[in-house]
């Protein structure tokens, strides 16, 4: 049976870490929509050129165009047994489009679809964000409290000096949290009504959350 996963939850809830682990565990492609869009633009494809024209003007990439790019990716051979979709959908409109995309690709293929919601307290989330550090060289993410490096201030993988994003502060974190619940949280009810939502307690260590994830899938 084909397995399809999407993940819901506010910024810094741990989705990225767990989706990467699950992709390796299930041997499914991890489709990161942000990276997918950047790759499409870098390739100079027709869809990439159109997307770039919107971004260059400071506009959001249209829902239909993002959907077209995602459909092309999910139609590839490595997704025939399923996928782990990261960063999409972000609205009910996009969720409807994803359902349509899946129905066109899957047709008569039996599918096990999961929408997994990372449930986390706002205070814990903000603490994660303000303590987050990243490697500018290899992109690895750390946290001063939850995932510290072996040598303080330096990446375990490549040894580069870690940096902190300018927007990783309490004020911005609260604003992002509010934006998430205004724009994306309606998806929780959307997938609950379709009987495919599973809620995951996202508070704890990476391994604790990972073990809970394995239990519910």
Active site residues: 15, 90, 132, 165, 176
DSSP 150-161: SSTTB-TTT-PB
Tokens describing residue 202:
């996202």
Q: Kindly give, in sequence order, each residue whose CB lies less than 8 Å from that of residue 109, ignoring residues fewer than 6 positions away.
A: 2
Tokens describing residue 153:
């201030």
State the residue for tokens 């994306």: 184
Q: Which of 124, 123, 93 is nearest to 190 (CA)?
A: 93
Q: Judge contact between 177 and 168, C-beta under 8 A.
A: no
CA neighbours closer than 13 Å in the CB half-sphere of residue 146: 25
Backbone phi and psi for residue 133, each to the nearest 5 degrees, phi listed first: -135, 150
What pairs with residue 133 in β-bridges?
Answer: 142
Q: What is the DSSP letter of 79?
A: G
Q: Whole-angstrom Cα distance, residue 30 to residue 21? A: 9
Q: Which of 157, 173, 52 is nearest to 120 (CA)?
A: 173
Q: Whole-angstrom Cα distance, residue 160 to residue 174? A: 29
């Amino acid at each position: 049976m084909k397995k399809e996963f999407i993940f819901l939850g506010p910024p810094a809830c741990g989705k990225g870490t767990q989706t990467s682990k699950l992709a390796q565990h299930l041997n499914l492609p991890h489709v990161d929509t942000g990276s997918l869009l950047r790759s499409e633009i870098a390739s100079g494809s027709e869809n990439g050129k159109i997307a770039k024209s919107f971004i260059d003007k400071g506009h959001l990439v249209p829902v239909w165009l993002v959907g077209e790019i995602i459909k092309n990716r999910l139609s590839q051979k490595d997704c025939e047994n399923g996928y782990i979709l990261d960063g999409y959908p972000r609205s009910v409109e996009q969720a409807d489009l994803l359902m349509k995309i899946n129905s066109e690709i899957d047709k008569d293929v039996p599918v096990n679809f999961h929408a997994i919601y990372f449930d986390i307290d706002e205070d814990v989330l903000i603490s994660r964000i303000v303590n987050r550090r990243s490697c500018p060289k290899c992109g690895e993410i750390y946290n001063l409290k939850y995932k510290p490096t072996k040598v303080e201030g330096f990446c375990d993988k490549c040894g580069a000096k870690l940096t902190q994003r300018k927007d990783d502060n309490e004020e911005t974190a609260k604003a992002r949290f509010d934006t998430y619940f205004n724009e994306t949280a309606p998806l929780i009810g959307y997938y609950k009504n379709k009987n495919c939502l599973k809620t995951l307690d996202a508070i704890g260590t990476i391994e604790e959350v990972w073990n809970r994830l394995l239990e519910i899938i």
